A = this chain, B = another copy of it.
Amino acid sequence: MTRKQLYQLIVKKKSFLCIGLDPDLDRIPKHLLETEDPIFEFNKQIIDATHDLAVAYKPNIAFYESLGSKGWISLEKTINHLKTYGNQLFTIADAKRGDIGNTSKKYAEAFFINLGFDSITVAPYMGEDSIAPFLNYPDKWAIVLALTSNQGAFDFQFTESVYEKNRLFEGVLKAVRKWGTEDNLMFVVGATKAEMLKPIRDIIPHHFLLVPGIGAQGGSLYEVAEFGFNKHVGLLVNSSRGIIYAGQGKDFATKAREEAKKLQMDMADILDHRLPIKT
Contacts and interface: CB of A to CB of B under 8 A. Distances in A.
Interface in A123-145: 123-131, 145
A277 interface: no
A231 interface: no
Interface of A: 22, 24, 60, 62-63, 65-69, 71-73, 76, 94, 96-101, 103-104, 106-107, 109-111, 113-115, 123-131, 145, 148-157, 159-163, 165, 168, 171-172, 175, 217
B125 A156 contact: yes
Contacts of A148: 100, 125-126
A157 B156 CA distance: 11
A243 to B, nearest CB: 16
Nearest to A63: B106
Nearest to A76: B69
A157 to B, nearest CB: 7
Contact of A128 (B66, B128, B145, B151): B151
A128 B152 CA distance: 5
B66 A110 contact: yes
B150 A101 contact: yes
A148 B130 CA distance: 11
A48 to B, nearest CB: 23
